């Protein structure tokens, strides 16, 4: 009986751990909008709310200090929402019950093209509208918009560029393909300067290698749309290469809109599995 009781207690404890893990995950995507694992994730989600944007993310279970990614967006309307990459995702340095992270986000707007923004968010306790959307009047999330290396940004932080949708025999409607590179700044043989260089390219700017291993091609600069040079005053790091925190795929879906797209993960910088 004692052995059986211990087994039952162990099963109960394991179930409790799984329940807590599930709850933590559901806080990040309550609707289960983002699907996938390993090197490919996707979204095809309709936000039926008439009032609020739906926000979600799914982390890869890996720690990193940078990487290369492709984002495919399949427009359904004029402005469906945002697909992006979150990195340096961790517990907030000043608020143990909150999170902080960087995001590079992209959206397609019919008649305008592609919009790109890059921001750092701190004190995020709820990624939905009340906190991440900063509806809180007390203890709101904080956003620091990054300036592009060239060009301007609009009042929402987007740098807008012309973009012609791509088509093929399987997609006559058209889609947007962007390549994103997030790299720690390598300044000398002793390490880095604590910052990041983020580049967003039009189309496929990789070397054509398979998922999980593709890198930026040598001739990619001709496809560069927007670049962000993030220095150590924004990160607080002395060496960004050694700062390994979670990576996640992020989406927000505008009210009464459907967001459809795919994220592909290429080669990560300094990749480690997350210890749970």
Asked whether residue 15 carries a pLDDT value surpassing 50, the answer given is no
The answer to whether position 140 is within a domain reads yes
Taking the CA atoms of residue 242, residue 103, residue 99 and residue 27 in that order, the dihedral angle to the nearest 10 degrees is: -130
Residue 160 inside a domain? The answer is yes
Distance CA 51, CA 271 (A): 39
- Distances from the Cα of 51 to the Cα of 37, 54, 200, angstroms: 31, 10, 31
User: What is the chain's alpha carbon radius of gyration, rounded to the nearest angstrom?
Assistant: 20
> Looking at the domain assignment, is residue 189 inside a domain?
yes
Let me know if residue 2 belongs to a domain: no
- Is residue 165 a part of any domain in this protein? yes
> In this structure, what DSSP letter does residue 31 have?
T
Domain total in the chain: 1
User: Is 69 within the bounds of a domain?
Assistant: yes
pTM > 0.75: yes or no: yes
Structure tokens at 208: 């054509």
**Once rounded to an integer, what is the mean pLDDT over residues 151-161?**
93
Q: Return the pLDDT at 4.
A: 41
Q: By the 8 A CB rule, do 63 and 218 touch? A: no
Cα(71)–Cα(176) distance, integer angstroms: 8
Range of the domain at 61: 31-273
> What DSSP string runs through 202-254?
ES--B--PPTTT--B-TTGGGGEEEEEEE-HHHH--S-GGG--EEEEEEEEE-
The pLDDT assigned to 136 comes to 53
Of all residues in the chain, the percent with pLDDT exceeding 70 is 81
117 inside domain: yes
pLDDT at 133 over 70: no
CATH number at residue 199: 2.60.120
Tokens of 60: 């890869």
Q: Is residue 235 part of a domain?
A: yes
Each residue's pLDDT tens digit, 228-244: 999 988 988 887 777 77
């Amino acid at each position: 009986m004692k052995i059986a009781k211990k087994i039952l207690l162990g099963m109960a404890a394991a179930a409790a751990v799984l329940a807590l893990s599930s709850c933590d995950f559901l806080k990040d995507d309550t609707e289960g909008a983002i699907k996938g694992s390993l090197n490919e994730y996707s979204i095809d989600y309709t936000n039926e709310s008439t009032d609020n944007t739906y926000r979600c993310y799914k982390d890869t279970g890996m720690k990193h200090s940078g990487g290369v990614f492709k984002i495919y967006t399949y427009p359904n309307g004029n402005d469906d929402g945002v697909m992006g990459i979150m990195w340096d995702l961790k517990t907030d340095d000043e608020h143990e019950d909150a999170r902080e992270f960087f995001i590079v986000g992209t959206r397609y707007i019919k008649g305008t093209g592609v919009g790109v923004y890059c921001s750092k968010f701190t004190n995020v306790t709820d990624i939905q509208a009340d906190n991440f959307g900063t509806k809180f009047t007390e203890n709101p999330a904080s956003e620091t918009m990054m300036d592009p290396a060239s060009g301007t940004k609009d009042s929402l932080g987007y740098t807008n560029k012309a973009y012609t949708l791509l088509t093929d025999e399987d997609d006559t409607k058209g889609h947007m393909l962007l390549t994103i590179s997030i790299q720690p700044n390598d300044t000398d043989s002793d390490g880095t300067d604590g910052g990041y260089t983020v580049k967003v390219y039009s189309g496929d700017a990789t070397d054509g290698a398979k998922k999980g291993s593709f890198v930026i091609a040598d001739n990619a600069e001709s496809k560069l749309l927007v670049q962000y040079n993030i220095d150590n005053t924004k990160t607080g790091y002395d060496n960004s290469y050694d700062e390994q925190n979670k990576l996640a795929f992020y989406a927000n879906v505008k009210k009464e809109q459907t967001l459809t797209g795919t994220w592909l993960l290429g080669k990560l910088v300094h990749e480690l599995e997350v210890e749970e």
